[in-house]
Amino acid sequence: MKYDQTPEYREVLREMVRRGQIEFGKARVVQLPTQRGELVGTFQAIRKGGGFVKPKPGQGKQVPDIYIPPTSTMDAATGDKVLVTILRRSRGTDRGPMGRIVEIIERASQEFVGTYFVKGEEAFVQVDGTVFHEPIYVGDPGVKGAKAGDKVVFEMLRFPSAEMFGEGVISEILGQRGDPDADLKAIIRQFKIPDTFSEQALAEARQEARRFEESPPDPSRRDLADLLIITIDPADARDFDDAVNVQQDERGHWHLGVHIADVAEFVKPGTSLDGEARARGTSVYLPGKVIPMLPELLSNGLASLQEDRPRYTKSVFIEFDPDGRITAVEFANSMIRVNKRLHYEHVQEFFDDPTARPHNMSEAVASALTRMRKLADILRERRRRRGFIELAMPEARVVIDTDGHVAGAAYTVQDESHRVIEEFMLTANEAVAQKLEDEDLSFLRRVHENPDPIKLHAFAEFVRSLGFEIEDENSRFELQRIAKEVQGKPEQTSVHYALLRSMKEAIYSPEDAGHFALASPCYCHFTSPIRRYPDLTIHRMLDSLIRRGKAGYEYSNLLVLGEHCSFTERRAAKAERELVKVKILEYLKDKVGQKLDMTITGVEEFGFFAQAKTLPAEGLVHIRTMSDDYYVHDDVTHTLTGSRSGKQYRLGMTVRCVIAKVDLDHRQLDLRLSDDQPAPPPMAETRRKRPTREKKHAPNKSRVRRPPPKASKGKKKRRK
């Protein structure tokens, strides 16, 4: 059978047509789509001028990102919603479609944060990050008492364009750059994270506290004080959402109880507390600082499942047969008293040595942990057989000292103690989602859509280039097999990074699209209502069902709420990453010239990004610093290959880099390759060499040379 007659090939072709990436011409000839007309999208500026517009979905045929030349951006800034006119694809260009911005529909922001400085008799602000690459004029020196080096907030009066400088006015002074408090405030202001509660919300929290302390226990709640209930959390946890208990009966059946803080008891719809929690969407966990979704009187007090304190909970009771099949599920409003609070380190120490008794662990608690471990293993194996895809991706953890500076940094380890609790939380989330599904209710699901077949095809090509065979690239079981096969091998990092990049982002939505990575057809977030608003909505619906009501949410309202909560989740993650970056750059600013062993995390035509193995620092090795050869970029195999030497830099590869420059204003780390590169790891035995494609026939490869000197630009005008 010819390759172009296989079902897989035809399915990829159909998907590309549906996405607008190709079209059929006369005689069914496959060709690039004609790209004309106007589209709405989000603008992203690039450092050398111009930028790209990512079209908003739902506008007919999908168009790739549209390149906007420097003279066609109007005064758009990164994140702005714009209307763009698409021009015909230029012959010979590899940029894809090109366009011109004709209207700024909506500004991403009018306020920005940066560092104040004076030049001559004029004052400027260098905006943090890469939103603007040139300073913004803010008037005469000393405005609002600003001093050189201050972190300031300013409002943009005129956005910069190709013809004109930007101009703004200072609205707030945050403190000197490098001061931990100023850096923290800068991130909070940059991402517009609400960090104070209204007096009305605080008053409502105090009122709930008085009601809880003064009122007798709710007789309608199931009293679970006789159960051995445990919490397991990080050592530095501030709030405690979840607790568990596990028993096994004489038939060998397992009984799992998952008990989640009943935030809905204290935060009622329509209150100021609810309004502010909804606006925040999530708690924000920054290095050295937590910005809670709820006032600490609730998040760190009434609702937090503290040891030996009576607390209201929503409980899910799940019975399994000896093989881990669910035989019964029950839900209840309950009251618990946590018997033992443990840290992950305590539990892992016990798992490593069952004779150990860390943290005054009793025999009863040790027996409970043994049961938990056994049940979690059974459930995890069942999930694995369903196609659960697990990737080993390191997560950064920065330790902040009492002065707010970096005292240490490392990558967190997801060991067996974490996986036990994770498995129980996943199981509880699925049980609640299935209950709401069975009741035919619209609810806010946690959705992770199936990957784009085009990206999966690219991933399969990458894996094959490493010598691993993959038959059905659209099969979750093949993806699962590959992810497991490379574990512990030199290719693990590169394959796991590439697979992660091929997947879509998880979001909140009422749409019934399932959760691909978890191999779960019906899933929601229920287990963290202290810190996530979507979980609070699920608690309210479950409470309604427990009390034999059927109240719920309108589908259209859930669509809006899902978009909002997805946005606040992304905002919190970006803010955390940015502050970690600021802290790490401050830590590295006096370490220029130091060598670091790093992992390549991204390969582009202009160079590659690499992340240090011992601390969460990521930087760029620009192609212009790689002067030993001309390098060819292959976006399928994620490599840069030297034309003469054949030297290769690949996604996931270990390289030794030298810190070349620490740019605190633009939050960038510039690297260069060290002369003493580590020896490449031995090839895995399972790898088999595949024939190398002829380079001249590879359209996805492009020769990368050092850029020519930039032409001098005329000076921009600035209105006084």
Tens digit of pLDDT for each residue in 14-50? 666 655 556 666 666 776 655 457 889 999 988 778 8
Q: List, as one string, the DSSP characters of 329-347.
A: EEEEEEEEEBSEEEEHHHH
Helix (H) or strand (E) holding 18: helix 7-18
Q: Residue 639 carries which side chain, given as an amino acid letter?
A: T
Alpha-carbon dihedral of residues 110, 113, 114, 119, nearest 10 degrees? 40
> What distances in angstroms separate CA 622 from CA 43, 52, 147, 584, 609, one per listed residue?
24, 20, 34, 20, 9
DSSP 21: S
Question: Which pLDDT score is estimated for 698?
Answer: 40
Give residue 506's pLDDT.
Answer: 95
The three-point CA angle 71-72-75 to 5° equals 90
Q: Which stretches of the chain drop beneath a pLDDT of 70?
A: 1-11, 14-28, 31-36, 58, 60-62, 88-95, 551, 680-720
Contacts for 22 with CB less than 8 Å, ≥ 6 apart: 13, 16, 30, 31, 32, 33
Q: Are 324 and 386 in contact (CB under 8 A)?
A: no
3-state DSSP assignment of residue 400: strand
Phi, psi of 128 (to 5 degrees): -60, 145
> What pLDDT sits at residue 688?
40
Helix (H) or strand (E) holding 427: helix 416-438
Q: Answer whether 642's CB lies under 8 Å from 628's CB.
A: yes
Euclidean distance between CA atoms 134 and 583, whole angstroms = 23
DSSP characters over 522-559: S----S-TTTBHHHHHHHHHHHHHHTT------HHHHH
| pLDDT at residue number 689 | 40
**Host H or E run for residue 32:** none
Query: Partners of 520 in the beta sheet?
Result: 515
Joined tokens for residue 135: 């300073």
pTM: 0.84
Q: Three-class SS string for 220-259?
A: CCEECCCCCCEEEECCCCCCCCEEEEEEECCCCCEEEEEE
Task: Name the segment(s) of the chain with CATH classification 2.40.50.140.
Answer: 35-102, 589-704
Rounded Cα–Cα distance for residues 663 and 660 (Å): 10
Residue 639 DSSP one-character state:
E
**670/119 Cα distance (integer angstroms):** 26
Angle in degrees, 0-180, between the axes of helices 453-465 and 492-502, rounded to the nearest 10: 170
- Least Cα distance to 278 among 684, 558, 619 occurs for 558
- 8 A C-beta contact, residue 1 and residue 10: no
Cα angle at 139 between 136 and 142, to 5 degrees?
Answer: 110
Location of structure tokens 């051995």: 228
**Two structure tokens written together for 69:** 């030349």
What pLDDT is recorded for position 4?
A: 54
| CATH superfamily of the 35-102 domain | Nucleic acid-binding proteins (2.40.50.140)
pLDDT digits (tens, 9 = 90+) for 524-555: 999 999 999 999 999 999 999 998 777 678 99
The CATH classification of domain 111-190, taken from the options 1.10.10.10, 2.40.50.700, 3.30.2090.10, 1.20.58.220: 2.40.50.700
> Are 532 and 526 a contacting pair, CB within 8 Å?
no
Question: What is 589-704's CATH number?
Answer: 2.40.50.140
Tokens, residue 12: 């990829």
Which residue ranges does the chain devote to CATH 2.40.50.700? 111-190
